A = this chain, B = another copy of it.
């Protein structure tokens, strides 16, 4: 089990693009989504897949259990996903000792761009790039879980630009 400790922000400009060093295309959906936990399947660049269980109520930190699974299983699991399958391109953007992940959503969330940074502890204070917008750490509406499963009623509440 790993701890997932992260902060999340909206993105207010394309300033991150010049610093991006890698990207991957993600397709993901939720097999289960209950109050403090979720079980997610993700296919990465159509080549590999992972089943990830996250548990915890904290805004910044959750327990994460992640396992590699066959892509063919993942495709079948996505067919059984709750809500929609999220499609996004994830860019890696190193900045002052941290690697930011910038998710550019496609499909039904096109226009939404979210940046996350993983930290070693909640006490860390990563430097914040100028292209970040409002912080949405712990705002359930911007969780992938909500974006996948509560899209229908939350669509108009979502702020797609910072």
Contacts and interface: CB of A to CB of B under 8 A. Distances in A.
A86 interface: no
Given A37-B31, A39-B39, A69-B67, A77 B53 contact: yes
Contacts of A67: 51, 67, 69
Contacts of A82: 34
Number of copies: 2
Q: Identify whether the interface residues of A are mostly helix, strand, loop, or mixed.
A: strand
A67 B72 CA distance: 14
Interface string A68-90: 01001100110010100000000
Task: Indicate the size class of the contact surface on chain A.
Answer: 20 to 34
A36 B33 CA distance: 13
A55 B29 CA distance: 15
A32 interface: yes
Interface in A29-54: 31-34, 37, 39, 51, 53
13 contacts: A1-B76, A31-B53, A31-B55, A32-B32, A32-B37, A32-B39, A34-B82, A39-B39, A51-B51, A51-B67, A55-B80, A65-B69, A65-B77
